[in-house]
């Protein structure tokens, strides 16, 4: 009461009752929380990975994160769980801004220094490989689930590279053998055309950096490759995307057996179709070692959303949250209206004046 009198003495306006503000404030808070929950996080719409030659994350995802077939992909799941493989297109650093060698330590290049993807850094000699020609023109394919402007840089390891040792920056050639800025995007896949390093033979690794030009964010991939055919070391077939979807248990179809290249042969036999070939592949592009089953599409289905199916649950969850939030918002608003309604005060009636004579 004293505060009211003091404010009145100063000529300040009277404070409105809190009951008029509280319900509206609560409603605004609820709506703000709903919008914050619906805004996608940095990983909700990830951005891409190399599919030809297949990156480590892409390869293990194709094997089915719930039951991978190769020992190395099983080791990846054992090291970090299945989620990193479902998020195969999120190996990124949000504020890289070209500082790749500074912010990514040796031994963690394939994970971009992120603990979530530590399984991709496993130093093993049994990572699946993609066989590439020893020289000439080649079109690398990078599936982009969220296109951005930027520059791709592809580095290859130096001679003597040992995949059984942690990958360090010093293991890469000093300069990229291919650089492509804003390459064409065809059916959701970036086409990176250029010359292969002509002086490489045998087992190597191609390290790709995609630095966005419209943001400091950058993405990283590791692709294990073999330049030319190596006797006794055939590349295993890339699993079919259909096998990567969790499904009820059923008898597994027989997979084609690897075809070992003959010693000294520079590439798999011509009769074996390319396991990485897409409908747009040109003659002379590489094979991952064996021929796929008829109708087995190993990459780039032309529908970028195809490989986002594991995220469908998250999308449904967000829409469900939006519906619940809107109902709660309506309830709070109605409650606020009821609390702020006040009965109109009865008009004052002046007492009748009675005169006595």
Same domain, 202 and 330: no
Q: Which residue has the tokens 């995609």?
A: 210
CA-closest candidate to residue 199, choices 152, 139, 136: 136
Same domain, 41 and 75: no
The domain containing residue 23 runs over which residues?
A: 16-45+309-340
Evaluate if residue 338 carries a pLDDT over 90: no
What confidence score (pLDDT) does residue 323 get?
76
| Separation between Cα atoms, residue 333 and residue 352, nearest integer Å | 45
Same domain, 133 and 65: yes
Evaluate if residue 290 carries a pLDDT over 70: no
Q: What Rg value do the Cα atoms of the chain yield, rounded?
A: 31
Same domain, 261 and 284: yes
Same domain, 135 and 232: yes
Of the ranges 16-30, 188-202, 317-331, which is most confident?
188-202
Any domain includes 354: no
Domain count, the chain: 2
Same domain, 191 and 164: yes
Same domain, 81 and 27: no
Question: Angle 22-38/312-340 helices, nearest 10 degrees?
Answer: 170
Q: Which residue has the higher pLDDT, 266 or 105?
A: 105
pLDDT single digits (tens) 36-63:
444 444 333 448 999 999 999 999 999 9
Q: Which residue has the tokens 């084609």?
A: 256
Among residues of the chain, what percentage have pLDDT more than 70?
A: 55
CA-closest candidate to residue 217, choices 58, 47, 87: 47
Same domain, 92 and 161: yes
Average pLDDT, the chain: 73
pLDDT single digits (tens) 66-94:
999 999 999 999 999 999 999 999 999 99
What confidence score (pLDDT) does residue 146 get?
83
Identify each DSSP E strand in 188-245 by its residue range: 189-195, 202-212, 218-227
Contacts 24+ apart (CB under 8 A), 328-337: 328/30, 329/27, 329/30, 329/31, 329/34, 332/23, 332/26, 332/27, 332/30, 333/23, 333/27, 335/23, 336/22, 336/23, 336/24, 336/26, 336/27, 337/23
| Separation between Cα atoms, residue 147 and residue 351, nearest integer Å | 80
Same domain, 205 and 176: yes
Please answer whether residues 86 and 145 qualify as being in contact, where contact means their C-beta atoms are separated by less than 8 angstroms: no
Comparing 26-40, 100-114, 236-250, the range with the smallest average pLDDT is 236-250
Same domain, 261 and 330: no
- What tokens were used for 220? 């990283």
């Amino acid at each position: 009461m004293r505060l009211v009198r003091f404010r009145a003495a100063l000529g300040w306006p009277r404070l409105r009752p809190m009951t008029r503000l509280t319900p509206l404030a609560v409603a605004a808070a609820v709506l703000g929380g709903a919008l914050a929950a619906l805004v996608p996080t940095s990983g909700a719409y990830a951005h891409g990975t190399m599919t030809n030659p297949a990156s480590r994350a892409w390869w293990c995802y194709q094997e089915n994160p719930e039951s991978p077939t190769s020992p190395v992909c099983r080791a990846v799941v054992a090291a970090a769980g299945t989620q990193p493989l479902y998020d195969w297109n999120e190996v990124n650093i949000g504020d890289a801004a070209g500082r790749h060698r500074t912010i990514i330590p040796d031994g963690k290049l394939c994970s971009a220094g992120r603990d979530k993807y530590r399984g991709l850094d496993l130093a093993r000699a049994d990572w699946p490989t993609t066989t590439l020609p020893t020289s000439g023109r080649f079109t690398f394919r990078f599936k982009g689930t969220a296109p951005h402007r930027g520059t791709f840089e592809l580095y290859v390891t130096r001679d003597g590279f040992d995949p059984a040792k942690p990958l360090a920056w010093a293991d890469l050639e000093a300069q990229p053998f291919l650089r492509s800025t804003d390459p064409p995007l065809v059916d959701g896949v970036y086409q990176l055309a250029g010359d292969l390093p002509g002086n490489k033979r045998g087992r190597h690794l191609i390290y790709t950096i995609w630095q966005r030009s419209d943001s400091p964010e950058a993405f990283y991939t590791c692709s294990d490759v073999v330049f030319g055919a190596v006797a006794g070391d055939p590349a295993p077939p890339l699993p079919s995307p259909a096998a990567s979807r969790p499904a009820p248990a059923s008898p597994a179809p027989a997979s084609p057996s690897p075809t070992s290249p003959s010693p000294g042969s520079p590439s798999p036999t011509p009769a074996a179709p390319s396991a990485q070939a897409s409908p747009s592949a040109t003659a002379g592009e590489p094979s991952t070692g064996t021929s796929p089953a008829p109708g087995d599409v190993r990459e780039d289905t032309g529908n970028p959303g195809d490989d986002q199916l594991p995220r469908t649950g998250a999308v449904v969850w967000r829409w469900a949250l939006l519906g619940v939030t809107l109902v709660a918002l309506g309830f709070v608003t109605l409650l606020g209206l009821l609390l702020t309604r006040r009965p109109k005060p009865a008009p004052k009636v002046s007492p009748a004046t009675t005169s006595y004579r």
